[in-house]
Amino acid sequence: MIQPARRIQDLPPYLFAEVDRRIAEKRAAGFDVISLGIGDPDLPSPAHVVEAAQDAVAEARHHRYPDYYGLPELRAAIARWYEDRFGVQLDPTTEVVSLIGSKEGIAHLPVAYVDPGDLVLVPDPGYPVYSIGTLLANGVPYLMPLKAENAFLPDLDAIPADVAQRARLIWVNYPNNPAGAVDGLDFFERVVDFGRRHDILVCHDNAYSDVAYDGYKAPSLLEVPGAKDVAVEFLSPSKTYNMTGWRVGMMVGNPTAVEALGRVKTNVDSGIFEALQIAAMAALDGDPAWIADRTPASRPAGTPL
């Protein structure tokens, strides 16, 4: 019998797909299930984003193959958003690549950087795709425990020297999923220094940058001076603008990494449907007050969602 590749045989079921399967089973059995699983906003996307997509879908010029790297206008909007939100300047042509959701880019980056047997430093607990992308590239995840006594930050000093020497990537994620931990620039400065000392690409998953409360404003790792020498950051409108189903994301930062991931992507996909790119532009260029308005802490008590 023809067998799948060993990398597939050894691949565990995707955690959230298994959670969805179990939820579906319970609902079919008549249970009213409250899901505390995958981070999926249950509020609608902004009306002006929906309208921009509807208008774009009706235009025949958007029905053809899209730009492989993302529309130049979208990459420019991403750069504007980063400067407005974080004070980080990006070159849209060399430091921004669009993604079919940040998950897709997180899964594909190891293809560009990890050879068989290479190590990837992965937070534990953490987003499963950090490890899964590593396994699909025939790399080896090395788990970094996130413990309460260390404020749910990885202990970089505890990583053995031989492990650091073999590692190609390190994944970090703040605001953190699932721990909810946050941090200022102090840890980001340390992890950038760690990456520079060991020739490791620092990969920051910043999906929850605008899911914050009590006045906390999450920084970008790219705010650290010189971070773009060794680091990239992943972000998407999914959580910020309630757009999980639209599948638009971006990776920004180190231009060598942007080019490498772009080269992988041009060989395995044909880019994002242009109408969705235009919707993402409407989100990124829209009034940032929308973000504050959808945050419960910013509204008077009793104000309905």
Residue 166 has a pLDDT of 96
Question: For 194-252, what is the HEC assignment?
Answer: HHHHHCCEEEEECCCCCCCCCCCCCCCHHHCCCHHHCEEEEECHHHHCCCHHHCCEEEE
| Segment 237-271, tens digit of pLDDT | 898 888 888 899 999 999 999 999 999 999 999 99
- Domain range list for the chain: 88-271
Percent of the chain's residues with pLDDT above 90: 68
**Global pTM?**
0.89
Please report the pLDDT score of residue 301 as a whole number.
39
Q: Angle, nearest 10°, between helix axes 72-86 and 274-284?
A: 20
Write out the two tokens for 124.
């534990």
pLDDT attached to residue 34: 77
Grouping H, G, I as helix, E, B as strand and the rest as coil, residue 15 is helix
Q: Give residue 32's pLDDT.
A: 87
Query: Peptide bond before 175: cis, by omega within 30 degrees of 0?
Result: yes
Query: Residue 300's pLDDT is what?
Result: 41
Q: Average per-residue pLDDT in the chain? A: 89
pLDDT at residue 90 tops 60:
yes
Tokens matching residue 109:
């980056």
Helix/strand/coil for 172: strand
Query: Residue 298's pLDDT is what?
Result: 45
Give me the mean pLDDT over the 48-53 stretch: 92
pLDDT for the residue 13 = 67
Q: How many Cβ atoms are within 10 Å of 242's Cβ, its own excluded?
A: 20
- In tens, the pLDDT along 283-301 reads 999 887 777 776 654 444 3
> Which of 3.30.70.260, 3.40.640.10, 3.40.718.10, 2.60.120.10 would CATH assign to domain 88-271?
3.40.640.10
pLDDT at 294: 67
